[in-house]
Structure 1
Amino acid sequence: MSLITNVMDHSLDDGYAEAAARKKSRGEGGLPKTLRAKLGLAAGLVLAALVVTVGAAQARVAAPVVAKERQELIDRIDRETSGADKLESSVDELRDDVSARQRAALKQSGGSAEADLVSVLSGATAVHGPGVRLVVNDAKEASTGGEGTNPRETSGFSDTGRVRDRDMQRVVNGLWASGAEAVSVNGQRLTALSAIRAAGDAILVDNKPLVPPYTVLAVGDGERLSTRFQNSADGLYLHALEDDYGIRATISAQGDVRLPAAPSVIVRTAQPNAEKTEKGTS
């Protein structure tokens, strides 16, 4: 009976009990590692799904608000643009009225052809006549940035295939030097006080931003003006931009081009020489 009782009380070898106790003391007891890993993965997936669900719900709630704000901004831009267009139209009408009154006053006071010539050359009067139409555009694959250095003379910009303000300066100066009598860029009449500058990637003409393509109209002897410009240093520079950087340019002689008057021709510093004026009238 004692043997049977001993077997019943100690059905497992004491070594198994000692091994189990050691595992428990080292924290290795409980669930198997594979099961714990699966449970952890499942918990992580549940947590990720919860985060995505909450984020989607918040985005769904915020979407109408964002769309409304965006539409309000678009509407405001449209209203401001429309208002600016109306003001610009009013300015053009007033400018035309002032020019007409000036011409009428000059005629009444004995105005001469020389006064009309000065008005035309100064850009104060809209003009038309034969000339050339030059369209300059960015390269087809133009970008907003580049790593290479553009060897264009003193441009200071990276080579991105974009037309720069210095390029337009050379084009305009080349047309003047080739015999142009009046020049405009994208409808902006140039005068002796005009400036072509850059603001980021945009080109400014008299502080008005322009976008490509840049259409340059010049009044002059059409065929002769076109030939002289293309053979000039500035015309060759433009051809080099086409060959080296993919900038696109086309020039054609026109039978009649029309240029508007300059927005404002105000002289703040220069004054006529009184002595020469008196000598000329005496």
Structure 2
Amino acid sequence: MPEPLTPDDPRPDEPRADEPQTDEQLDTDAGPAEVPSTRAAASDKSPAGDVTPSDSDAGSAPEPINWRELVRDFVKPGRAQVVFAAILLVCGLAVAMQVRTQASETDYSTLRRADLVQLLDDLTAQSRQLESEIAELEATQRQLQSGVDSEQVAKEEAQRRLDVLAILGGTAPAQGPGVRITINDPQHKVTSELLLNTIEEMRDAGAEVIAINGSIRVVASTWFGPGPGGSLVVGGEQITRPITIDVIGDPHALTEATQFSGGLVSEVESSRIGGTVSVVADGKLTINAVVAPPSNRFAKPA
């Protein structure tokens, strides 16, 4: 029967003080916290002695930004974001003002000399016409204010205005100096858009009366469109080729309006259409085509 141990006697699993301890016992007594691992130390240092990142740091990727962070940045932007937004706003306002300024200004620097001369001639003709109208109105005013047969003068002036409006409205024949334009289009490539642009150019040049093919009076309500088989329709009537346009106005201004770059002559005689244009001035051109005035649906004489 073994003898009981006293406090002074060592336990069986503890080494005696007078016995030498082995390396395994020293490692066990010191614990893992006191003895550093040689393998870990070797892996943390590179052959040159530099510290290398661990496997967990090398394999980690940046976390994606979720929508909450985007909303937070939008609601509460940082100082750099506010400054950048202000710079973009100033640049946008500057660009918008520059574009608006360029759109409002008319630049004639790209026009040719012939185009500038034509614009000047058109303005001169319009200025002369307005001066003539001013002189006539002033003479009528003086006659009405003089009191001598003012009633007869008023009637004559009213009749004159009625005749002018009838000519402009297309309800009465007209005659006067002008030009006759003949468009030969053998390939039927003249479009309604080109014909409409020609009429607009004639009006800008001071045309007072316009007729197409001698039977269609062009007024404010006249429309242009394509017809069957490549034909053209003007005011609801189909027109045949060659196309003849009679225009009453200043012959010189009307002729120049057809010959500028991009105008009727250059467009029709280009390789795209392959036609020809003839412009002949006439000192006494007569236009007999008229339009029937539409009946009033709502208005009545007062």
TM-score by length of 2: 0.43
User: Rg: which structure is higher?
Assistant: 2
TM-score by length of 1: 0.46
